[in-house]
Amino acid sequence: AETRMQEDYGHNRRRAAGTALLFEQAARRLLEKRYPHDLHAAQWSALRYFARAGRRTANVIGLSRYLGNTSGSTSRTARSLVDRGLLAVSPSDHDARSVMFTLTEEGHQVLKDDPLNELAEILAALSLEDIARLSQTLDLVMTDLVRRRTP
């Protein structure tokens, strides 16, 4: 019985490694296309974030938490989007030391070409049960990744 358990464990590890490779290939395919806007993955994520962020979280600190990056690199990402005319900066209503970011009209237009739209179309063709199962699984993966990487 112990030999069988070891075989199952080895098979499960190989299957998990193969699935991780498929996940990496899908992510690379999705993110390698920078589209005509020539945006990096973090810039796309920042645009998505600010499109949904509330007034209290539409700042570098909120984006930094969302991306899991340092505030320095996050600040550079936001500044690059301001420089491109995709984000506008205004003083924060809640903190005099902080600024708030909002998408410009051009930023909203660029988001129409978001590479995640292609993935959403593919996922929309799945059954609700498959989408729910995938969502739950990815939530577990993300929760564990965050747990493992948080000091």
Binned at pLDDT 50, 70 and 90, residue 38 comes out as: confident
Where is average pLDDT lowest: 8-17, 77-86, 129-138? 8-17
Top pLDDT among 79 and 146 is at: 79
Q: Is the dihedral of CA 59, 62, 66, 68 positive or negative?
A: positive
| Global pTM exceeds 0.95 | no
Q: Pick 37 or 52 by higher pLDDT.
A: 52
pLDDT bin (cut points 50, 70, 90) of residue 35 is low
Which letter, b or e, does each residue of 88-116 get, where b requires 16 or more Cβ atoms within 10 Å of its Cβ?
beeeeeeeeeeebbebbeebeebbeebbe
Kindly provide the b/e burial profile for residues 18-44, where b requires at least 16 CB atoms within 10 angstroms of the residue's own CB: eeeeeeeeeeeeeeeeeeebebeebbb
The pair phi, psi for residue 83, each rounded to 5°, is -60, -30
